[in-house]
Homo-oligomer: A and B are copies of this chain.
Amino acid sequence: MQGLHLMAELEGCAPARSLMSDVGALRETCLVAVRRARLTVLGDLFHRFESPGGVTGMVLLAESHLALHTWPELAAVTLDVFVCNRGVDRSAAAQAVLDELARAFSPRHVRAQRLQRGLPHRPA
């Protein structure tokens, strides 16, 4: 298995829409980004915390997963996009999803990390 895991921490978020706490809007934004990148949605799960109103969500992909968590009280968001690159290089799709979602939050600061996942397979 070989894959690419993109992570970003967003700070100073000031989205035009209430993406930090509107679970429906955030879910829709994620699904649009994933589908635009031609990744395959298997299911999704989003939850809004009553107080202070953050949202935590995941999209299960045929190619692996997307996860994000918002902290409106800190104007902060974490993003994870993980794609399996076995057979097909989906790095550009993963980056497109991460970039689109990061832009949606209009963050003042972004800390991004790019990790190669997996081990080269050795016969048992």
Contact = CB atoms under 8 A, between A and B. Distances in A.
How many copies altogether? 2
Number of chain A interface residues as a range:
35 or more
A53 interface: no
A5 interface: yes
Nearest to A3: B78
A1 B42 contact: no
A58 B58 contact: yes
Given A57-B60, A117-B78, A119-B109, A1 B12 contact: no
A74 interface: yes
Interface string A34-72: 000000001111010100000011101110110101010
Contact of A60 (B47, B76, B115, B124): B47
A113 B5 CA distance: 12
Interface of A: 1, 3, 5, 7, 9, 11-12, 42-45, 47, 49, 56-58, 60-62, 64-65, 67, 69, 71, 74-76, 78, 80, 82, 84, 86, 108-109, 111, 113, 115, 117-119, 121-122, 124
